[in-house]
Structure 1
Amino acid sequence: MYWLTNGGFLMYIILLMSIIGLGVVIERALYFNINEKSDMTKLRPILRQAIEKNDIKEAIANLSSNKSSTSKVLKEILGFWYRTKTTNVVALEEKGREAALSQIPQLERNMWILSIVAHTTPLIGLLGTVTGMIQAFQAVSLHGTGDPSVLANGISQALLTTAGGLIVAIPALVFYNYFNKKIDEQINEMEKGSAELINYFRR
């Protein structure tokens, strides 16, 4: 409460940004933990066996039970092949690209909000410090320099917003980069899985 009462109005904005950022972090963490926690090393031999038996329906069923982006992309490629029976590698690759692109918005969901929190809160904190310093020097001009505590207290309160902004921004930036790394890993996994599946149809 000390920070809120002494940091001024902008501290409430920083608090709101922290709540929003925390909400995004929790939502993204749950998404990646629940939906993208698939082990494709276990799924690949099952798929390979089903395809070798020409049981595409079984392969699609196995993919349908998996929530990961890679599984959805492979399911689209298999479904396309099953419907068209095409061995045109270019067509299969195009279908794989389309399916992968359709998964990216879900992977990147709310990341723009976390980016705003990470990059904006330090600026809000700095704005609070600048306005606080202006008020502190205005107080000195009114009361004179006979009491140094007037300036010291004003500066102390002004710096609270900068500290608050950094306290919110640093974890937000860490999680933003962490989730971007997870997104890159999933995109690479989709590309790798698609290439492996399409290479099988080259035979």
Structure 2
Amino acid sequence: MSLPLLSSINHLVLAAEAAPQMSFDLVHMWHTMGPFAKGIAGVLGVMSIYSLGVMGERLVTYARAASASRNFAVQLPGMLKDGKYGDAVALSKKLGRGHISKVLGLAIEEYERGVEINAKGGQAGMGDFDVVAAVNRAVDRSSQRTIADLRRGLGALATVGSTAPFVGLLGTVAGIITAFQAMAATGSGGLGSVSAGIAEALVTTAFGLLVAIPAVMMFNYLTNRVEDMTVDINDSANELVDYFLKEGHTDAAAK
């Protein structure tokens, strides 16, 4: 190997050893970020904490609703068979967290009130009215309120999942602009002069994806849970109305 070539290699090695070593750990990147990038990271942190809070609150709420609904569904048939509509209403209020108990409790209360009014000759000047139709209207009202309560927070979770990547990308774009401005100001060229700035800028995009992916996954899961509970509400309400049509009126009239 010729002496000039060896000299060039030694010069490059010495230059590489003398060059400052860039640190790419998160703490160093945070300290080297600009105010705008830190602001973006702060926004993403707030979005992450909020989405995690919604996830935890909804999971606990759905678990409690499922447990209360199971307890109500187990005890309700015996109460209906014995004509204990008042006890069924009281149980529904006691298990108020259950989605099924909320809807069926109001339906049973409406049915009991309607049967009592008809037994007294109906309302003044109006005569008898269709009790089952009143029950169906009560089911519709309570179902809409219950489902709306079950969906509470899911819209915000979807917003976090859809916007977090773009918020992170905004920080990345701003960081890349800053890196190229620094390169233009110093007059240095090449990828090496801006690689550190670009790497720091990409942190916000990675953070945005880290916030968005769990939010989207949990939004889909929780939406499926709400759909399953909606089916349970509709099935239970239809079964209750069928019971009133076939057996309930006779039982109530005989009390």
TM-score (norm 1): 0.89
On the 8 A contact 1:21/1:114 being kept in 2, the answer is yes
Aligned length: 202
For residues 107-146 of structure 1, what are the structure 2 equivalents within 5 Å? Answer: 107-146=150-189
3-state SS, counterpart of residue 54 of structure 1: coil
Are positions 1:25 and 2:69 aligned together? Answer: no
On the 8 A contact 1:87/1:201 being kept in 2, the answer is no
Quote the residue 1:5 is aligned against.
31
3-state SS, counterpart of residue 132 of structure 1: helix
Cα deviation digits, residues 16-58 of structure 1 (max 9, x gap): 1111111211211221122333453x64453222212211122
Q: What CA distance in whole angstroms lies between the structure 2 residues aligned with 1:173 and 1:6? A: 31
In structure 2, give the amino acid aligned to 1:78. I
The percentage of counterpart residues that share the same residue type is 29
Question: Equivalent of 1:55, from 81, 84, 94?
Answer: 84
In structure 1, give the amino acid aligned to 2:42. Y
Deviation at 1:156, TM superposition (A): 0.5
Cα distance change of structure 1 residues 120 and 4 upon mapping to structure 2, 3 Å threshold: farther
For residues 89-108 of structure 1, what are the structure 2 equivalents within 5 Å? Answer: 89-108=132-151
In structure 2, give the amino acid aligned to 1:169. A
Deviation at 1:65, TM superposition (A): 3.0
Structure with higher Rg: it is: 2
Are positions 1:193 and 2:222 aligned together? Answer: no
Quote the residue 1:74 is aligned against.
104
Q: What CA distance in whole angstroms lies between the structure 1 residues aligned with 2:32 and 2:236? A: 55
In structure 1, give the amino acid aligned to 2:214. P
Which aligned segments of 4 or more residues in structure 1 are displaced greater than 6 angstroms?
Answer: none
Deviation at 1:145, TM superposition (A): 3.8
Cα deviation digits, residues 95-127 of structure 1 (max 9, x gap): 111111121232122222212211111110011
Cα distance change of structure 1 residues 141 and 91 upon mapping to structure 2, 3 Å threshold: same
Q: What CA distance in whole angstroms lies between the structure 2 residues aligned with 1:138 and 1:169? A: 30
How large is the Cα RMSD of the aligned pairs? 2.0
